[in-house]
Structures are given as structure tokens and as C-alpha cells.
Amino acid sequence: MNKLNLDLKKIAQCRQAAEEIATTILSHIEPYTTVTIERAVCRLLGIDGVDGFDVPLPNRLVDDVLKNNTLEMGISRHIAGALKDTKLSLEAFLAQYATDQISIIHHSLPSAEETRAILEPYYRQSFAKIRKNKQERERYLHMYVTPKTQLYVICATGNIHEDIIQAKAAAEQGADIIAVIRSTGQSLLDYVPYGETTEGFGGTYATQENFRLMRQALDQKSKDLGRYIRLVNYASGLCMPEIAAMAALERLDILLNDSMYGIIFRDINMQRTFIDQHFSRMINAYAGIIINTGEDNYLTTSDAVSEAHTVLASQFINEAFAKKAHLKPEWMGLGHAFEINPEIEDSFLIELAQAEMAREIFPDAPLKYMPPTKHISGNIFRAYMQNTMFNMVTTMTDQSIHLLGMMTEASHTPFLSDRYLAIDNAKTVQKALHSFRDEIIFQPDGLIVKRAHEVLDHAVEMLEDIKARNLFEALETGMFASTRRGRDGGKGLEGVIKKHRSYINVISDILEEELR
């Protein structure tokens, strides 16, 4: 459907520029690994648990090898060497290692072929589980009808058991997607907490056990309601690949997994982020997990009218990185948001132009559309009005993943009643405007069409400019979200390791082989 008569040559030019931008970045990062990628390798070999001091075993293994200055060879070779020298199974080795009876270092490092042979029984078991999870999800989706626009709400109390109660209530009220937002600051932790958690700040810790508990609860609720309830968490921050691995193992359906969000909004080193996002997205591609990107956040720090083209440019870049990681279009939940100041004349039409443009440029993507937050105050009646307009644009432009706005945004964590009202609002609008998109056409020389063309033109210019410079420099000069970040600044650069020529990563090898 092409209501805006967008210039297809310009869209193709954007994609070509974004592809070249992503290719340049990948050529820069290919010689490097990170500590969290190596920990994700451990997790996908089946390594879990903590030692006597509650240090996660993946962290301890990688840290020991890092201190020995041999992580450049890859954790795969060290684990394979330890199993070969000790003649122990991985489980038996870990039992002794966790109690300081044995070391991961000072073992001979086997060849690439021998490393893969020694570790194959372990990674094959994890990959078999991930494939089974994907098949189970597909079985549910085949069994139950998936709405064209899925209603997405957040449940996050800090206590996973309270979250489960709230998530079940939201599903009963009509939510299709449940996100468990992470505890404040978890993205800056360079480890993943272990086990179920009952205390968090502004959210609930993302742990594998918490993933398992919520997935189990939502599966039961899916059967009770006769529709599949999708589960979301956040694969961003310093542990992006590990969370992707845990999500694949526990059958999460959607992960917030942006290529630049952590750089811009969490001041995580850009080199670390680009390396981690590529590996994490390969895991997502293998598991069939939809990614959500974070362009909606750009408009919280920059003007939604004058900087709208930065959202589109970023969507093209995120799409290009996703393709490099073998993600299919139907797994690319590219983000955008309803963040224009409602006091601006024709703000609704400008929002409609942006949303329709995204829908037409990325027709196969399950776009994630975010509600108004920047211009929401403590006036709940005004917030409810703004959310109604947001719901109207969502329905009128066939957005796929519809994150509902709460009338108590900026006031407090939503009550169950707030969430109910948000769902009821969205469902009422969906019903009232059910066939609107099929009925409406836009004036060829009208405001909506002109606005969309203007944004696309600026996105072409921006992407060509970034291609001429490179994305590192674009981020250094603050081209996105009016925020400058240094190439060697931010958190996590010390966790970037240059690979030795004999480096081995059995997980990335198998992912590349099977996804290609």
C-alpha cells in the first residue's frame, strides 16, 4: 500500500547507504571479541550457576582467563583444553572448578577441529533446546490467531512473583505482549544476576530463572485464554549477548535489542556495543526472536518535528545490522514513537505522516510504536486524551506492536486499573477505526504527503553524510538524539579483546554456518 507516493529510488538509496555504513562498522569490529560474548559462549555450552561467593560461573571462567592474558584465544579453546587434560565431563569439571579444586588455565589448547569435537555434545544440546523452543512458539502461533496489532504492556514490580500476578491480570484484560522491564541500572552491570529475584528498583532483574518462571506462567495463561501471550525482556547494555542466550534458552519472544541505544542513552562504549549487538542478533535470528529497536528514545532528548529524519535514518541502520546478523524482516521490530508536542498545530497529521511512512518503507517489519511520554504531565485526563490520539494513529497505519500509554505516566507505577483503562481505550479505538486505513487516501499535495517526503529527503542526506564520515564519527558529533559519545569513552571498553589469529568461538561458527 503506497498512500504517500514515496520515491522508491530514495528509499533504495537509504538502504544502500545503511548497508555500506553497517559493512564499514562490521569490518572494524570483526577482529574483536568481548567478555560478554565469551560468557554467552559459556552459557550456550550449558554453563550456569554460581560459586561459593555467588559469582556466576560464566563470569568467573572468563575473568580467570582474562587475568591470564589468554582470552584472545577464546573461552572455547580453554574449556576444551581443560576437559581434554582432565578427562572430565563439563559437569564434573565445573563441580570441581566452583570449589577451587581445579583451574581453567594452564591447560594445553587444542586445535580448532579438536575444540569443536570436544565441545560439540554441549553446544548441540543447547542448540537443540533453542530449536525446540522455536518450534513450540510456532505451534502456539499456528494454534491461535495473532492480532494484526498486538497490545503491549509492561509489568515490573521488582518481585518476579508479583510480576507474574500482574502479567496474568494484564493478559486477562486483553494484553497480547507482556514486557518485564529490568531493574534500574542493570544494563550497566557486567554480569547477569543468578536465580529468582524479589527485590528490584524500577523493575525486576533479568535472570534466566525469572525468564523461566514468567514463561511458564504465560504459557499456562495462553492455554486458559486460547491465545498466545508473548514475553519481552531487554537484551541491551553490557550483557546483551548473554541475555540473548538466556532468552533463546527460555523461549522469550521479543527482545529490546538496538544497535545504538546503549551507546547514546547508557554511555556504553560504542565499540563494545557494536560487537555485542552483532553476536546477540545472530542468537536472536537462530531462535526466531523479534528484536525491538530504540529509535523512540531519540525523541525524548531531541525535537520530534525537526529531528524526525534521525529516527528514519536509524531504522535503516538497524535494519542493515539486522540483515548482517541474518534476521528476517518479520523479526525486525523497528521502533518509533508518538512524541510531537500536542500544542503544535496539525501535530496529529504530522504524527500520522511519520507512522504511515514507517509502515510503507518497512512493510514486512513488526513495527514497535511507542506512546507519548515526553509531553505527558500529571494531568491524567490530558494523558488519556493523548493516548487516545496515539491509539488512533496506531490503528490508522497498521502498526504491529502497540505499546500502550498509561494515563499515570510521570505520576507513578501503573495500577492494575490504569492498565485496564489503557487496554480498553486501545481496543475501543481498534474497533471504531477497524477499516479506516482501507478507506482513507491522502491528498497528493497535502500536509501529510509533503511531510513524509520531507522526512525521507532529510534521511537520505543524513545517511549519505554518515556514509562519508562513518558511524563512529556520527555518534561522536551527536547526530542521533543530540547526544555526543566518544569512540574510546563510555563503559565497557576494557571488556573488548583483540582476537589472536588462532581464536575460536564455537558458537559463532555454528551460528554462521546454520544461519547462512
Which residues are the active-site residues?
261, 296, 368
Task: Write the single-letter amino acid at 463.
Answer: L
The answer to whether the beta carbons of residues 373 and 406 sit under 8 Å apart is no
Q: Name 185's Cβ contacts closer than 8 Å, sequence gap at least 6.
A: 201
Grid coordinates representing 343 are 500544542
Crossing angle of the two packed helices 308-324 and 447-469, in degrees rounded to 10: 60
The answer to whether the beta carbons of residues 51 and 57 sit under 8 Å apart is yes
Q: How far apart are CA 196 and CA 160, in angstroms?
A: 7
Strand order in the sheet with 290-292: 332-333, 290-292, 254-256, 230-234, 177-179, 150-154, 401-403, 368-370, 335-337
Q: How far apart are CA 376 and CA 383, in angstroms?
A: 6
- Scanning the structure block, which residue is given the C-alpha cell 500544542? 343
Strand ranges in 356-464 using DSSP code E only, listed in sequence order: 368-370, 401-403
Can you list the alpha helix ranges (DSSP code H) found in 5-111? 8-29, 35-44, 57-67, 75-86, 90-97
The answer to whether the beta carbons of residues 383 and 405 sit under 8 Å apart is yes
Q: How far apart are CA 3 and CA 356, in angstroms?
A: 8
The per-residue DSSP string of 444-505 comes to TTSHHHHHHHHHHHHHHHHHHHHHHH-HHHHHHTT-STT----TT-SB-GGGEEEPPTT---
Q: Residues for the chain: how many in total?
A: 516
Cα 128–Cα 55–Cα 509 angle in degrees, nearest 5: 35
Strands 401-403 and 150-154: parallel
Burial of 129 (0-12, 13-18, 19+ CB in 10 A): middle
Q: How far apart are CA 83 and CA 85, in angstroms?
A: 6
Nearest to 280 by CA among 315, 327, 316: 327
What is the Cα Rg of the chain in Å?
23
Q: How far apart are CA 34 and CA 499, in angstroms?
A: 9
